[in-house]
Structure 1
Amino acid sequence: MASSQNPTAGLAEKAATKLAARKRFEAVFPLLVEELIEYLASEGMPREAQEWYRRNLDYNTPGGKLNRGLSVVDTVDILLCTEPGSGGKRTRELTEPEYLKAAILGWCIELLQAYFLVADDMMDRSITRRGQPCWYKVEGVAEIAINDAFMLEAAIYYLLKKHFRSEPYYGLLLELFHDVTFQTELGQLIDLITADENHVDLSKFSLEKHHLIVLYKTAFYSFYLPVALAMRMVGITDESLYKQASAILLPLGEYFQVQDDYLDAFGKPEVIGKIGTDIQDNKCSWPVNVVLLHANAEQRKALDQHYGRKNAESEQIVKDIYVAPNVNIPGKFEAYEKESYQMLTGLIDQVDESKGLKKEVFTSFLNKVYKRTV
């Protein structure tokens, strides 16, 4: 049977293509590490410092899903190599220099992610990250991780200067990284002062706060930044197109995080690959904020007593409230998901491809996250 008629063969082919794309992207990172270590050597840094930095880079940057970095490459590929209005019909392949530039920008986002995570794990006193000890928990690291986080961020600007200084859009790349870093840190601030694990206070929670946290802590750097970097690289200069991209990608990022919050409470650990901890960690998540709007007095009292408590019994009491008939988080999420999909497809339909932006950029993002289970 031909693969086009065999869904299993089709899925296997997609998986193989995805794996090949990841491996090609991963192959660029060691080259960037060598450039950074060579810089340290040129500055007269001792071998011990060079090896520490190499270990920091290798331990904290690769190893995740790499979705943000790969999204830069995918977006550049769509913008340069597909026919407008064709739903992704290819016209050519990226040249090696084009691919390398896109991959470097992608790894710069992954370095930004690594910087955030090293710092975030210390603030949250987390124990593990990506199946291994958090960097500050590694023997001999401890508070040095603070400086290591700064050095992960500094790598971004060294690589941008080395590879893009002669490009007309170099200053705009710097502006994007600086702006999005500040926005993400603002989101982290709101999260930290709203949802203190040691002082549970649900009166600080609201859907408005959740919206701000999600928008600033996740949507800007995870959804808007990859696309905006790709747009700058391919030479899109019309600022109205960046506003249009933002108007689609920020709500898409919010939908993704609401979905993530829902899966944390209702996803099966063997499917999503982790055990949800939002309830025990006192997270200002979407389900609890919806519950606060619909809970009766008895349920609200139970939430105050049990949300954010580090035990399975309290967690189960909260989950039981989530599925109570007057609350019905699964039903409300289903309605939210349907409404979000309709809104996002409507915004994507408004993209005028004659100006250089392509609908496929956004539909590819939406198709990856719509009704996902992992």
Structure 2
Amino acid sequence: MANSLKKFGEVFPILVEDLRSICAEQDNLPDQVWQWFEKTLQYNVVGGKCNRGLSVVDTTQILLGRDLTSEEYFQPATLGWMIELLQAMFLVLDDIMDGSVTRRGQPCWYRRADVDMMAVNDAPMLESAIYLLLKRHFRAHPAYLDLVETFHEVAFQIEVGQTYDMLTERGQVLHEFDEARYDAIVTYKTAYYSFYLPVALALHYTGRARPANLRQAKDVLVAMGRYFQVQDDHLDNFADPAVLGKVGTDIPDGKCSWLVVQALRLGTAEQRAVLKANYGRGGGGDAQGCERRVKDLYDELRLDGVYREYEERTVAELREKIAAVDESEGLRKGVFTAFLNKIYGRKK
């Protein structure tokens, strides 16, 4: 039942044409504005791995227990592209807030000379495209209102997570970096939209969004999303940049990462002093030296091994949760197994 990125990608030009029709013909948008909007869409939405978007299609197939016909494929794929639009909106803004230089191997949208701070307006336009497409393709669907509300709710959850993350980073008070704070940030910023949203959309689309099914999905997938982010934090420090595809920046950026939380929990008073003196010093004159001292401390504390133990324990707990899923109202354990198989032991 695996869906190819190529097949999924073939849906996006159709959606761009839909948006052109809505904007240029229905709303009489000036041609110059549409051309800019189209350039924004093409630059920021395509080019990623599309794991979240593809998960809507995969989940729909698992729920139905069969492959989708060509005619059936379009709507769940469209919902998947809406998640990609949501992510694109947040990445444009996130890059501005973080002062990032590149995204997906090319300059960040706001870094282009012809864009600059116009990106602040382009980002909400990307989100608005979601609701234009929902109205165009799902207005007659029984779950239309649920789909609209789900996107609004998850968008707000991401914004909450981003706010908490930035307040934490700005505060730079290491003694406030603890597991409760970390869990809250990653739950809101990552887990809901990366794991819960694709499944919630598929449940609504297939008419299986019973309250019990949504509760079970949230319970399993939010926990899985936290595990995914812990993986990311581990890879940021311990993965080979050539394999990961980027150089980790959590230490110089002063992120409230899982590794620094563990270092604060496990370290001695002297080791915590080393962290305080060197963590989040990306803008200083000895930035590389500070980062090296933190990395050495992570090795002293054997955090790679601490992570390996965490991973095996967490995956075992997730498998127990999956085994306990009640399928009587149309939910399928295979939905969660498919997600876990994709991320367990990943290297990038």
**Equivalent residue number for residue 137 of structure 2:** 163
Query: Out of 58, 77, 99, which is 2:73 matched to?
Result: 99
Output the TM-score relative to the length of structure 2.
Answer: 0.96
Letter in 2 for 1:295: G
Query: Out of 100, 103, 127, which is 1:126 matched to?
Result: 100
CA contact (8 A) 1:322 1:329 kept: yes
- The 3-state SS of whatever aligns with 1:280 is helix
Letter in 1 for 2:295: K
Letter in 2 for 1:155: A
Give, in whole Å, the separation in 2 of the partners of 1:309 and 1:238: 48
Give, in whole Å, the separation in 2 of the partners of 1:44 and 1:178: 26
| 1:27 matches 2:3 | no
| 1:189-204 correspondence runs (5 A) | 189-196=163-170, 200-204=172-176
- The 3-state SS of whatever aligns with 1:72 is helix
CA contact (8 A) 2:200 2:209 kept: no
Give, in whole Å, the separation in 1 of the partners of 2:202 and 2:172: 41
| 1:352-363 correspondence runs (5 A) | 352-363=326-337
**Equivalent residue number for residue 10 of structure 1:** none
- The 3-state SS of whatever aligns with 1:353 is coil
Q: Deviations over 1:128-158 (max 9, x none)?
A: 1111011111122111111100100000000
Cα offset, 1:93, TM superposition = 2.5
- The 3-state SS of whatever aligns with 1:195 is helix
**Equivalent residue number for residue 135 of structure 1:** 109
| 1:322 matches 2:260 | no
Query: Out of 20, 33, 38, which is 1:37 matched to?
Result: 20
CA contact (8 A) 1:252 1:344 kept: yes
Letter in 2 for 1:53: F
CA contact (8 A) 1:184 1:216 kept: yes
Letter in 2 for 1:36: L
Q: What percentage of aligned pairs have identical amino acids?
A: 51
Letter in 2 for 1:320: D
CA contact (8 A) 1:215 1:250 kept: yes
Cα offset, 1:355, TM superposition = 2.2
Query: Out of 232, 235, 238, which is 2:210 matched to?
Result: 238
**Equivalent residue number for residue 230 of structure 2:** 258
**How many correspondences in the alignment?**
343
Give, in whole Å, the separation in 1 of the partners of 2:33 and 2:86: 21
Q: Deviations over 1:263-312 (max 9, x none)?
A: 10101111111111110111100000010111112211111111111222
Cα offset, 1:260, TM superposition = 0.6
Give, in whole Å, the separation in 1 of the partners of 2:135 and 2:210: 24
Letter in 1 for 2:293: I
| 1:1-374 correspondence runs (5 A) | 21-42=4-25, 43-80=27-64, 82=65, 92-196=66-170, 200-310=172-282, 311-324=287-300, 327-374=301-348
Give, in whole Å, the separation in 1 of the partners of 2:131 and 2:209: 22
Letter in 1 for 2:294: V
CA contact (8 A) 1:322 1:328 kept: yes
CA contact (8 A) 1:37 1:53 kept: no
Cα offset, 1:204, TM superposition = 2.9
Give, in whole Å, the separation in 1 of the partners of 2:78 and 2:197: 14
Give, in whole Å, the separation in 2 of the partners of 1:153 and 1:354: 35
Alignment RMSD: 1.3
User: Gaps (5+ residues) in structure 1?
Assistant: 1-16, 83-91
User: Gaps (5+ residues) in structure 2?
Assistant: none
Q: Deviations over 1:137-196 (max 9, x none)?
A: 112211111110010000000000110010110000011101100111000000000012
- The 3-state SS of whatever aligns with 1:308 is coil
State the 4+ residue runs in structure 1 displaced beyond 3 angstroms: none
Give, in whole Å, the separation in 1 of the partners of 2:209 and 2:303: 43
